[in-house]
Amino acid sequence: MFEYQKMIADVLMKNPNVDTFMFSVGSMNWGSSGSNQSRGFAELIPRRQRELSATEISQKIRPDLMRFPGVRGLVNVPQAIRLGGPGSRSAYDYTMQGTDTEELYREAQKFERLLAQLPELQDVNSNLQIKMPRVRIEVDRDKAAAMQLNVAQIQRTLYDAFGPQWASTMYASNDQYKVLLEMLPQYQTFTDLMSKIYFKSTDDHLIPLDAVVRTKTDASPQTVNHSGQLPAVTISFNLRPGVSLGEAVEEIEDLAKTNLPGTISTGFQGTAKVFQESLKNLTILLIIAVAVVYITLGVLYESYVHPITILSGLPSAGFGALLTLVVFKVELSIYAFVGLMMLLGIVKKNAIMQIDFAVAAERLEMKSPADAIYEGCLVRFRPIMMTTIAAMLGALPMALGWGAGGESRRPLGLSVVGGLFFSQLVTLYLTPVVYTYFAAAVERWRRRGAKALRVAQEVQGA
């Protein structure tokens, strides 16, 4: 493993975008404690000094790591926030569980090969490593009984050979030493040397091991992983450039429905699981958020109409954020969705500042709606521009991918900056128009109600 590390280290040292790196051998919370695994961490030079993003650099390094025989190199760009899930070599995890371990391992290996064929995925791997050499010994009880042997004797002798067995203790003047009984290491290397083990039967005859047991050589898993109370296999994967997580989730679910038996339960873990759950509740979450904002603004202004005027700028903010993501070819990830939710609270402040002044001018100075909102736009233009520019400049470093982990938070910054910029251009003109039309509609409604009341009073008086 050290030799493999040196070869991979040479690849990283020749890459001008890599600043420092380190390696370690062992599990590193990968679900396996074997020393046949190694993990390295590479730190890139600052974003301003390189032209490529971390994802683009990983795509260029990946082919260089695939050319070494005997080792499989995987490249993963760590997420700024890992939302649970088992530790793995890739960004997203898919877990399979079953009560029958043999069936689970068999189906997991087949399903891993199917996932590797999907064009949307790359770096498909699993924590199932059936590579541990194993010798299975089956005792022929009838032969053993005929030769005056029992299973306990055979087990005890095998443990004495490979255990090792604590035979006695040697006491010295200042210390004591345990005496361990075992076969010499050269006799533990190959399975055919087990024929040199003999048993002593009750009638003092020496019986070779081959006479009473059958041996079978195969491979076993290095570790038996569990999720909850059941054996589990976790398949990890990365996405190819330009592929969204939603597309990959749909493809994997369709593949599982058509190829896995009903005795095996499946599910995403970590970030993929959170994304899948968020898609189910996305519509409800948006409706609840808008409803809460509407109720709060309705109580504040004591009106059913003004909250709608304030919320009229939200579609333009969402359109601007999505358009920015499309222009910069960034997928709608969880971070981008968080940015959309932030826009609900940021964008409506423009309309609030305009309408708050207009409502006060109507009620206190008895101005018409058109005059009130016109004066509100003139008076509040400066604070509107100041607050919007301050919010955009605050999110601009994230949009540019600056800082540690900035590339992971870039979708959030792009959605906020793009949504604010587009909504700023639209709401300065949209809000006064909507306010004026709603005010005219309310006035017509009041006149119609007053006219209907007069008619009812005249009819009642007659």
Give DSSP secondary structure letters for 376-402: HHHHHHHHHHHHHHHHHHHHHHHHHT-
- Among 3.40.30.10, 3.30.70.1430, 2.60.40.1190, 3.40.50.1970, what is the CATH number of 1-75? 3.30.70.1430
pLDDT tens-digit readout, 234-249: 898 888 887 877 788 8
Closest CA to 12 of 39, 43, 47, 33: 43
How many other CB atoms are found less than 10 A from the CB of residue 256? Answer: 17
φ/ψ of 439, rounded to 5, equals: -65, -40
- Sign of the Cα torsion 365, 437, 286, 303 reads positive
For residue 6, is pLDDT > 90? no
Distance CA 129, CA 156 (A): 30
State the sign of the Cα–Cα–Cα–Cα dihedral 151, 156, 159, 161: negative
Confidence of residue 201 (pLDDT cuts 50, 70, 90): confident
Q: How confident is the model over 146-161, as pLDDT tens digits?
A: 888 888 888 888 888 8
* pLDDT (mean) for 318-325: 88
Q: Which of 4, 5, 2, 26 is nearest to 223 (CA)?
A: 26
407 pLDDT higher than 90: no
Could you give the CA distance from residue 355 to residue 323 in angstroms, rounded to a whole number? 28
Residue 331 has pLDDT above 80, yes or no: no
Q: What is the C-alpha separation between 424 and 216, in angstroms, rounded?
A: 74
Angle at 129 between CA 124 and CA 134, to 5 degrees: 160
Distance CA 51, CA 243 (A): 22
Tokens coding 252 = 């994997």
pLDDT of residue 257: 92
Token readout for 229 is 């109370």
Q: Would the CATH topology of 82-129+222-277 be identical to that of 303-461?
A: no
Q: Which residue has the higher pLDDT, 22 or 461?
A: 22
- CATH architecture for residues 82-129+222-277: 2-Layer Sandwich (3.30)
pLDDT in tens, 343-372: 877 888 888 888 888 888 888 888 888 888
- Quote the pLDDT of residue 169: 92
The answer, yes or no, to whether residue 424 has pLDDT greater than 50, is yes
Fold of domain 132-218: 3.30.2090
Checking if the pLDDT of 416 tops 70, the result is yes
**Which CATH superfamily hosts domain 303-461?**
Multidrug efflux transporter AcrB transmembrane domain (1.20.1640.10)
The residue to which tokens 């949504």 are assigned:
419
> Judging by beta carbons within 10 Å of its beta carbon (0-12, 13-18, 19+), is residue 43 exposed, middle or buried?
exposed
Confidence of residue 86 (pLDDT cuts 50, 70, 90): low
Does the structure show a pLDDT above 90 at 413?
Answer: no
Q: Where are the domains of the chain?
A: 1-75, 82-129+222-277, 132-218, 303-461
The token duo for 129 is: 């490593």
Q: What is the predicted pLDDT for the residue at 31?
A: 45
Give the DSSP per-residue string, 137-160: EEE-HHHHHHTT--HHHHHHHHHH
Q: Which two tokens stand for residue 159?
A: 């443990």
